[in-house]
A and B are shown apart, each in its own frame.
Chain A
Amino acid sequence: MAAFIAEPVMGVGGVVVPPDDYFPLVRAICDKYEVLFIADEVITGFGRTGEWFGLKHWNVKPDILSFAKAITSGYAPLGGIQISDEIRATMESAADTEAYMHGYTYSGHAMACAVGLKNLEIMEREDYPKRARELGKRLQDGLKTLEEFPFVGHVRGLGLICGVEIVSNKEAKISDPATTTRIFKAAQERGLRTRPLGNVLAFAPPICINEEEVDEIVKRLGAAMDTL
Chain B
Amino acid sequence: MNQQDTAKWVEKDFKQLHPTYHPKSHANPLVIERGEGVWLYTTDGQRILDGMAGLWNVNVGYGREEIAKAAYDQMKELAFTSGFSGMTNLPSIELADKLAGFAYEGLNTTMFTSGGSESNDSAFKTARYYWKRKGKPGKYKVIARKGSYHGVTLAGTFATGLEKYHTMFGPAIEGFIHIPAPNPYRYEGDLKLERPSGRRLRVLSKRRSCGRARTAWRLLSPNRSWAWVA
Contacts and interface: CB of A to CB of B under 8 A. Distances in A.
B133 A94 contact: yes
Nearest to B222: A19
Contact of B162 (A13, A62, A69, A110): A13
Contact of B50 (A40, A62, A110, A205): A205
Interface of B: 30, 37-38, 40, 46-62, 64, 66-68, 70-71, 73-75, 77-81, 83-85, 88-92, 94-96, 98-99, 102-116, 118-120, 122-134, 139-151, 159, 161-162, 181-186, 191, 200-201, 217, 219, 221-223, 227, 229-230
A87 B125 CA distance: 12
11 contacts: A19-B221, A22-B182, A22-B221, A61-B107, A80-B113, A90-B134, A91-B129, A98-B132, A107-B113, A114-B74, A204-B56
B43 to A, nearest CB: 15
A2 B128 contact: yes
Interface in A205-221: 205-209, 213, 216-217, 220
Nearest to A11: B149
Given A7-B148, A78-B115, A104-B114, A161 B56 contact: yes
Contacts of B49: 191-193, 205, 213, 216-217, 220
Interface SS majority for chain B: mixed
Contacts of B103: 41, 45, 52-53, 65, 67, 82
- Among A38, A84, A122, the most chain B Cβ lie within 10 Å of the Cβ of A38
A178 interface: no
Contact of B115 (A79, A84, A119, A220): A79
Interface residues of A, number: 117
A204 B113 contact: no
B58 A68 contact: no
A110 B92 contact: yes
Given A99-B85, A102-B122, A217-B51, A193 B40 contact: yes
A151 interface: no
Contact of A81 (B89, B91, B113): B113
A123 B143 CA distance: 33
Contacts of A83: 107, 109, 111, 126
A61 to B, nearest CB: 5
Interface string A44-66: 01111000110110000110111
Contacts of A48: 56, 59
A131 B71 CA distance: 26
A223 interface: no
A4 interface: yes
A150 interface: no
B98 A79 contact: no
A74 B142 contact: no
B80 A13 contact: no
Contacts of B96: 108
A111 B92 contact: no
Given A73-B59, A102-B122, A119-B60, A87 B130 contact: yes
